[in-house]
Amino acid sequence: MGCPFLKETRTRNCRAMPARRGIVCEATAAATDKCLTAAHATCPVLAERNVSPSPTGRCPLLDETLVQYCAAAQTPKYIPFSQSQITRCGSSAHRYCEMYLSLARPSLDRPDAVANIDGIDLPERLSYTPNHLWLDVEEDGMCHIGVDGLLASVLAQVDRVHFITVRGTCRPSAVISAHGVDWPVTFPKTVLLERPNLYLRADPGRLLRDCYRTGWLFEGWELPADNGRDAGLMRGARAAAWMRAEVQRLNERVHRLAGTRHAGVFALAGDGGSLAPGFASALSRDEILEVLHEFFSPQRGWMHE
């Protein structure tokens, strides 16, 4: 399903003009537009170009193009219909469009099934890697990649996101800076990377606030050789069972760290069982590195594969 803000219209331009600028066609203008009536014979451009008037009443220098545009944009940009097929607007990938998310507010009525594993959201339509990244692949092969809810929950803040790979066939990689630590995140499968989410440079906090929507990291295309293959990825019931085990293992790991320090230092729940979001702010730099290496290392994805 395409974006509800995607609209179609026709634009006209004159092939004789040095700068061809499309003018939106209006249904009421057909009878009065000089280019669409026999009055085009009086246009001086025809004489200059030595072009004979058309007996059909339509100027032979007139071009019409079917275009699409975003109705939500303040200044619409008209894209030829043939080119618009390769954009996110014509597919369900529009769910990641910044303008769509800000105006349609789909989070108020989300159609996606989302499991909740001990406080960690896990959208069931996504696939997950062992190092806690997610992959969303559309029917046409366009894909988005981001960090999952567990990694977002561990960090209290993100100071900076630096993109190592920005385009081409690669394993998408970035560096997340938080709590004085620069941590690399790498998607373990090769994709045709189209672009990173540059909005994260201005507002890296959205990586935590909305990790499954506006906080996505990369947009690209699944390679034909990998189409339909989920090697090394988990989804559905398998992903839920894996996430439940990961949350439990993380709880145990941090409780062991807490056992070596004074009570109350860590942001733990009152029953001593579950970690509060952003507990990394209570860890030392070395302890953060231990947790990140054990649960979110890029090597986890490669070793699993």
For the stretch 119-133, pLDDT in tens is: 899 999 899 999 999
Q: Is 97 a domain residue?
A: no
| 27 in the same domain as 130 | no
The number of residues in the chain equals 305
| 271 in the same domain as 164 | yes
Instruction: Encode pLDDT of 14-30 as tens digits.
Output: 777 766 566 766 654 55
Q: Is 10 a domain residue?
A: yes
| 262 in the same domain as 147 | yes
Among 90, 122, 149, the domain boundary falls at: 90
Q: What is the pLDDT of residue 119?
A: 87
**pLDDT over 90 for what percent of the chain?**
29
Instruction: Encode pLDDT of 73-92 as tens digits.
Output: 767 776 666 544 445 665 56
| 251 in the same domain as 205 | yes
Domain that holds residue 52: 6-90
**What mean pLDDT comes out for the span 39-43?**
79
Among 30, 55, 90, the domain boundary falls at: 90
Does residue 106 carry a pLDDT above 70?
no
| 80 in the same domain as 143 | no
Q: Is 104 a domain residue?
A: no
**What mean pLDDT comes out for the span 219-244?**
81
Q: Please report which confidence band the pLDDT of residue 168 belongs to, taking 50, 70 and 90 as the band edges.
A: very high
| 134 in the same domain as 78 | no
CA dihedral angle for residue 245, residue 214, residue 176, residue 268, rounded to 10 degrees: -40
| 14 in the same domain as 130 | no
| 263 in the same domain as 149 | yes
Q: Is 15 a domain residue?
A: yes
Q: Is 243 a domain residue?
A: yes
**pLDDT over 70 for what percent of the chain?**
70
| 77 in the same domain as 129 | no
Q: Is 193 a domain residue?
A: yes
Give the least confident one: 62-66, 133-137, 250-254: 62-66
| 49 in the same domain as 133 | no
Q: Please report, for the domain that includes residue 260, its CATH number.
A: 2.40.50.100
Give the DSSP letter string of 94-135: GGG-HHHHHHH-GGGG--S-EEEETTEEEETTSEE-TTSEEE
Q: What is the pLDDT of residue 267?
A: 45
Instruction: Encode pLDDT of 207-225 as tens digits.
Output: 998 899 889 999 999 887 6
Q: Highest mean pLDDT range out of 97-106, 205-214, 220-229, 292-301?
A: 205-214
| 276 in the same domain as 162 | yes
Report the mean per-residue pLDDT for the chain: 78
Does residue 259 carry a pLDDT above 50?
yes
Q: Is 27 a domain residue?
A: yes
C-alpha–C-alpha distance, residues 223 and 270, integer Å: 47
Is 112 within 8 Å of 124 (Cβ atoms)?
yes
**What mean pLDDT comes out for the span 109-116?**
68
Among 28, 59, 90, the domain boundary falls at: 90
Q: Is 106 a domain residue?
A: no
| 124 in the same domain as 16 | no
Question: DSSP E strands: which ranges in the chain?
Answer: 6-14, 23-24, 62-70, 79-80, 114-117, 120-123, 127-128, 133-137, 142-147, 160-163, 168-170, 173-178, 181-186, 191-196, 218-222
What is this structure's pTM?
0.69
Indicate the number of domains in the chain.
Answer: 2
